[in-house]
Amino acid sequence: MIDHRYITTNDDSAIITHYLQNKNSKYGIPFEKDALRLLNEKETTEDECVVAEPIASYGLFPDSFSVPFPAPENPKFTFIDLFAGIGGFRIAMQNLGGKCVYSSEWDAQAQKTYLANYGEVPFGDITKESTKQYIPNDFDVLCAGFPCQAFSIAGYQKGFEDTRGTLFFDVAEIVKRKQPKAVFLENVKNLYTHDSGKTFSTIKNTLEELGYVVFHKVMNAMEYANVPQNRERIFIVCFNKEKVTNYSKFVFPEKETLKRNIHDCIDYSNMEKKLFYGESMGHIADLRAGVVSKDTIYQWRRQYVRENKSKVCPTLTANMGTGGHNVPIILTDNGIRKLSPRECLNFQGYPQEFIFPTTIADSAKYKQAGNSVVVPLIQKVCKQITSIILKSS
């Protein structure tokens, strides 16, 4: 029986869906008491499916999933997904046999997309102790694409104390409490040089202070993951020196030749009128004069057209959700248009099975795609991490 009346994307939903995902293992213990109380209050049972919108195919029972990306039946390792967005880390880790035992994402629209694809509502604000208290013990890897915030503390001494008041502090606090085998963080390239390197130094010192050895590298998706997007990010991988004795064998992925191009990610059959630019655009003449090749991608920069000379997609950003001019532009046989949200996902390496709920606006879809990670590159790094921790077990 499908019951659509009760649960929406809030922490009650998170408690119930996390319990249903993990109820047959020790990882379900933090959710069990509250989940059973909530189910009883809502006069529903574990045999009913609890969803956030009326789509009958979204079953949430572990043994009867119909979501696109169910957890593996016999996981090789476990992880948690913080600042989860739409689950780029989760897809990569699940592809390698990992099971997510906790997720957190504050944006309600992203929570809906997460639910639609994984059958789970992420918990909300991770800065709250009430949110942290549900994190299970004994998971293997902490994943987080945490937002970069300037550290206001002037000292930059040991590290941990200097991170207070930032979102990284909440990551560090969880690492301190739970001591996972590995930590995998992703952030913008500029994190490394921010404040003359002091921000990154504080992050690194903090993780080392907590007992971890830290590896880091800036990588571009077009150079390391065969994804035609110019997207540089810093990847930080940490191993618990007490639990992972072979950490010195870790290496980041090597570069690979870019074989895919923009045409592999663009759906030229898409004729949605809302994507195309017409006479109503004030600068349509400038757009037509500048957008002249079907083999490159352009951007509108207030008063001029900028061509991406590398023949790949420029870096997708969350700002795409704030206005059409922020979305990359292409020339097709049918006119000039912006990329669709699905095409933006393609340039992030998401599988075709990934879906956006029909109930969220295009602006939210663009924001979610731009905020996300390049899945194939995340997976390549994850593979290196899991090869270390599994051999160390």
β-bridge mates for residue 77, sequence order: 98
How far the first Cα of the chain sits from its last, in Å, is 41
Tell me the C-alpha distance between 150 and 162, whole Å: 11
DSSP-based three-state secondary structure for 157: coil
Are the C-beta atoms of residues 14 and 122 closer than 8 Å to each other? yes
Locate all alpha helices (DSSP H) within the chain, ordered by sequence: 11-22, 29-41, 88-95, 108-118, 129-132, 167-178, 198-209, 221-224, 284-290, 341-346, 362-371, 375-392
> 148 an active-site residue?
yes
Q: Residues near 92 by Cβ (< 8 Å), separated by ≥ 6?
A: 375, 376, 378, 379, 382
Q: Residues near 111 by Cβ (< 8 Å), separated by ≥ 6?
A: 9, 52, 105, 121, 122, 124
Tell me the C-alpha distance between 174 and 171, whole Å: 5
- 49, 100, 143, 148: the catalytic one is 148
Tell me the C-alpha distance between 243 and 254, whole Å: 26
Are the C-beta atoms of residues 378 and 98 closer than 8 Å to each other? no
- DSSP string of 57-77, one letter each residue: T----GGG--SSSPPPSS-SE
CA atoms within 13 A of residue 57's CA, in its CB half-sphere? 10
Q: Residues near 216 by Cβ (< 8 Å), separated by ≥ 6?
A: 192, 200, 204, 234, 235, 236, 237
Q: Phi, psi (5° rounding) for residue 205? A: -60, -40
Tell me the C-alpha distance between 127 and 169, whole Å: 9
Residues taking part in catalysis: 148
